[in-house]
A and B are shown apart, each in its own frame.
Chain A
Amino acid sequence: DAKTTQPPSMDCAEGRAANLPCNHSTISGNEYVYWYRQIHSQGPQYIIHGLKNNETNEMASLIITEDRKSSTLILPHATLRDTAVYYCIVRPLTSGTYKYIFGTGTRLKVLA
């Protein structure tokens, strides 16, 4: 079973920031939070991951709450090409823990 909870869908206006929440209230101290997205007819695309500090890369920012029970993926200036299903995954940081358990994700629609 997925260890994360996400809203099933969200809309965002083009050019605005898209904030995608994820609840992972049972996260353990050694578990990272990973975000992927899946654009229609493509494979899941890695976006970002983090443990407890906020992270930023060229695609997005990841904000993890201090208690680590939830996080938010931020796409700072959403474009129509960001329309996709976004998955939040928790994964232990120990060798051999290779499994991703994908939940149902959030379907983000960016509106023109």
Chain B
Amino acid sequence: DAGVIQSPRHEVTEMGQEVTLRCKPISGHNSLFWYRQTMMRGLELLIYFNNNVPIDDSGMPEDRFSAKMPNASFSTLKIQPSEPRDSAVYFCASSGTGYPLQPQHFGDGTRLSIL
């Protein structure tokens, strides 16, 4: 079975540039999560979608970050303009519904470096 697919795996760009990270969740999953991982702060939830609707974006660091989920099989996380402190590994995860709550399944992440 295909897992969560993220692209690109690595991204290096200069500060001020727009960055777009992409995620394809597992087919049939209706919840999607974006996380960020840094050495200093560990894994942090940025935003959560349910049935393509953003439910909680309280983890989004600032207005430079935005996320969309135009359909059940695709989501993007955009940073504009990017800054060096945005350098991190960004993970996408998805889960289904049901009782008990289904575990989240993670992609292999996008390693982002802002120079």
| A-to-B contact residues, CB < 8 Å | 32, 34, 41-46, 49, 51, 91, 93, 95, 97-100, 102-104
Does chain A have a CB within 8 A of B108?
Answer: yes
A49 near B103: Cβ-Cβ < 8 Å: yes
Q: Which residues of A contact B109 (CB under 8 A)?
A: 42-43
| B-to-A contact residues, CB < 8 Å | 4, 31, 33, 42-43, 45, 48, 50, 55-56, 91, 93, 95, 99-101, 103-109
Knowing A93-B100, A93-B101, the reply to whether A44 touches B42 (Cβ < 8 A) is no
A102 near B43: Cβ-Cβ < 8 Å: yes
Q: Which residues of B contact A43 (CB under 8 A)?
A: 4, 91, 93, 106-109
Give Cα distance in the complex from A99 to B34, angstroms: 11
Interface of A is mostly: loop
Q: Which residues of B contact A93 (CB under 8 A)?
A: 99-101
Cβ distance A35 to chain B, nearest Cβ, rounded Å: 10
Cβ distance B15 to chain A, nearest Cβ, rounded Å: 24
Cβ distance A97 to chain B, nearest Cβ, rounded Å: 7
Knowing A42-B108, A43-B91, A104-B42, the reply to whether A98 touches B103 (Cβ < 8 A) is no
Could you pull out 10 A-B pairs where Cβ atoms are within 8 angstroms? A32-B101, A43-B109, A44-B43, A46-B103, A46-B104, A93-B101, A95-B101, A98-B48, A98-B56, A100-B104
B45 near A100: Cβ-Cβ < 8 Å: yes
Give Cα distance in the complex from A25 to B84, angstroms: 39
Give Cα distance in the complex from A14 to B108, angstroms: 26
Q: Which residues of A contact B4 (CB under 8 A)?
A: 43
Q: Which 8 A-B pairs have the closest CB atoms?
A: A43-B106, A102-B43, A46-B103, A44-B106, A43-B108, A43-B91, A43-B107, A93-B100
Given contacts A98-B95, A99-B48, 13 further A-B contacts (CB under 8 A): A34-B103, A42-B108, A43-B108, A44-B43, A44-B93, A46-B104, A51-B100, A93-B100, A97-B101, A100-B45, A100-B104, A102-B42, A103-B42
